[in-house]
């Protein structure tokens, strides 16, 4: 049957798969509905930067199998590759690149039956918590098109929030699943380190900081999509302990009485989170308490300043490596955005000793968080420190860009290392998203749940971080929240 948008959007991904499985609809009809919605809204949102309708139609017309057979899907235009598709990572320097292989996680989702038909917008190299690359332009938030949906998985978040697809590919190296989940009214779970291995395509991404995942409207979709991607990879860096049973089976299971500590402290925010973000956190705390959980104000004994500094050390060193590798491959790195060249210039001054010192800091913070989890089952914070920012509000000023270009033209990496230019660029972005990096540094799973909307109708999420292997616990709690305060059918007026 042909589906109207209201019919199509009333189902989550598993619900759409059930329509195909029972013969109530077909993969082609679902794809038609997704493409029609994309055509209706993407002129306002700019969520999808590459479309592959012919490729998707051929797949949808073929035999369907797997738990998500026939379900329309979108992949992120960053490290989620399909052989033969473009893969520019949001950069003008790579605008003619075509992927020679399919990423391991995407291969697993294809095996589960998904029908990808496009690639979603991402900031260049995923380096910001907003999605405004110069190559493709800014992605806009369906809840308020003057604002950002977050990043780096902003295109995916915008498309899911607008009802183009029920779930979309995302990844998280410093909050890139949870930040857009917070600002787009979605559920986003960052799995723990190593649970979704990327080998043999690449070594452990970003020293283990980064992982693949999804953004979705329903908890059960995220659970089932992670189930499809979780794997034991012999060529990986290590073998993670896999969940004892599918995460989908945790949806609806009793989470028990959880001990939850909460705090909105961050050295980048001396006065705490904004009123809206603090309200989102306390809303989650009160809801958890009403459901029988033990909730109190508490925070781990993390050295937050050192954690931030060590994260910046790795981030800039990786930027320096990325640009050096691109140059080695013959790419014109002068076409890379100025902000990323600033980060790379700063990273070029990072020494081997700096990296080892940062790694030691990560271990110390991991130990501190582990001690916190001896008393508490979960740590609750705001996901983001503010409501969604206005498009362009985090841009580097024209004056600073001009100065940066001048210094870069003089090959002034040393000048950058002793100036405030890189710090201004970095901290301008980090001050609104200071809570998510802890889970990346320590490798712990973390989720953002959409329990609060501001008086002006903007979503802002709450983050829960758990110990190693607590993905089942997080799913059980998220499903309990979803049942108590449903969000799946809450839609922007777009």
DSSP-derived secondary structure for 29-70: HHHHHHHHHHHHHHHHH--EEEE-HHHHHHHHHS---STTTT
Site of tokens 């008393």: 375
Give the CA distances from residue 12 to residues 219, 242, 349, 427, in Å, rounded to whole numbers and listed in that order.
10, 26, 48, 37
Which is the catalytic residue, given 25, 89, 103, 176? 176
What span, in angstroms and rounded, lies between the C-alpha atoms of 16 and 9?
9
**Cα 105–chain centre separation:** 15
Question: Is 176 one of the annotated active-site residues of the chain?
Answer: yes
How close are the terminal C-alpha atoms of the chain, in Å? 25
- Say which residues have a Cβ less than 8 Å from residue 422's Cβ, sequence separation at least 6: 316, 342, 343, 345, 346, 416
Q: Residue 200: is the preceding peptide bond cis (ω within 30°)?
A: yes
Token pair listed for 139: 């992605």
Which is the catalytic residue, given 76, 128, 318, 488? 76
What span, in angstroms and rounded, lies between the C-alpha atoms of 45 and 39?
11
Which is the catalytic residue, given 152, 218, 240, 448? 152
Site of tokens 């540094």: 441
Provide φ and ψ at 52, rounded to 5°: -135, 60
Give the CA distances from residue 381 to residues 53, 177, 313, 335, 371, in Å, rounded to whole numbers and listed in that order.
40, 15, 24, 38, 17
Nearest CA to 272 among 429, 140, 386? 386
Nearest CA to 139 among 163, 123, 118, 119? 123
Question: Is 89 one of the annotated active-site residues of the chain?
Answer: no
What positions carry a catalytic annotation?
A: 76, 152, 176
């Amino acid at each position: 049957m042909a589906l109207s948008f209201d019919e199509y959007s009333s189902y989550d991904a598993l619900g759409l798969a059930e329509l195909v499985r029972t013969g109530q609809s077909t993969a082609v009809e679902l794809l038609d509905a997704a493409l029609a919605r994309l055509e209706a809204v993407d002129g306002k949102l700019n969520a999808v930067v590459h479309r592959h309708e012919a490729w998707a139609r051929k797949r949808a017309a073929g035999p369907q199998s797997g738990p998500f057979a026939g379900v329309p899907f979108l992949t992120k235009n960053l490290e989620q590759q399909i052989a033969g598709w473009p893969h520019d990572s949001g950069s003008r320097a790579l605008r003619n690149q075509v992927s020679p292989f399919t990423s391991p996680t995407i291969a697993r989702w294809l095996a589960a039956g998904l029908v990808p038909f496009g690639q979603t917008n991402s900031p260049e190299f995923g380096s910001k918590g907003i999605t405004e690359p110069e190559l493709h332009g800014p992605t806009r938030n369906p809840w308020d098109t003057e604002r950002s949906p977050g990043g780096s998985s902003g295109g995916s978040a915008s498309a899911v929030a607008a009802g183009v697809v029920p779930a979309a590919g995302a990844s998280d190296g410093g909050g890139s699943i949870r930040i857009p989940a917070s600002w787009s009214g979605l559920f986003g779970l960052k799995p723990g380190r190593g649970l979704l291995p990327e080998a043999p395509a690449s070594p452990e991404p970003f020293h283990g900081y980064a992982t693949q995942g999804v953004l979705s409207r329903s908890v059960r979709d995220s659970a089932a999509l992670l189930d499809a991607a979780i794997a034991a990879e012999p060529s990986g860096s290590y073998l993670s302990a896999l969940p004892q049973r599918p995460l989908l089976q945790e949806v609806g299971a009793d989470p028990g009485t959880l001990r939850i500590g909460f705090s909105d402290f961050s050295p980048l925010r001396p006065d705490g989170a904004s009123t809206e973000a603090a309200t989102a956190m306390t809303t989650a705390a009160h809801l958890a308490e009403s459901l029988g959980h033990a909730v109190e104000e508490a925070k781990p004994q993390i050295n937050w300043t050192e954690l931030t500094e060590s994260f910046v050390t790795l981030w800039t060193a990786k930027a320096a490596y990325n640009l050096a590798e691109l140059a080695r491959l013959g790419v014109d790195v002068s076409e890379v955005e100025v902000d990323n060249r600033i980060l790379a210039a700063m990273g070029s001054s990072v020494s081997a000793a700096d990296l080892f010192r940062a790694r030691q800091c990560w271990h110390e913070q991991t130990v501190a968080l582990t001690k916190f989890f001896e008393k508490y089952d979960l740590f609750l914070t705001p996901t983001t420190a503010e409501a969604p920012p206005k498009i362009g509000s985090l841009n580097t000023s024209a004056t600073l860009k001009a100065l940066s270009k001048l210094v870069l033209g003089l090959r002034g990496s040393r000048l950058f290392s002793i100036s405030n230019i890189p710090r201004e660029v970095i901290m301008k972005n980090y001050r609104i998203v200071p809570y998510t990096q802890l889970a990346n540094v320590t490798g712990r799973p973390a989720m953002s749940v959409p329990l609060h909307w501001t008086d002006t109708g903007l979503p802002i999420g709450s983050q829960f971080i758990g110990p190693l292997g607590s993905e089942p616990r997080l799913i059980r709690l998220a499903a309990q929240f979803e049942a108590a305060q449903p969000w799946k059918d809450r839609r922007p007026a777009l």
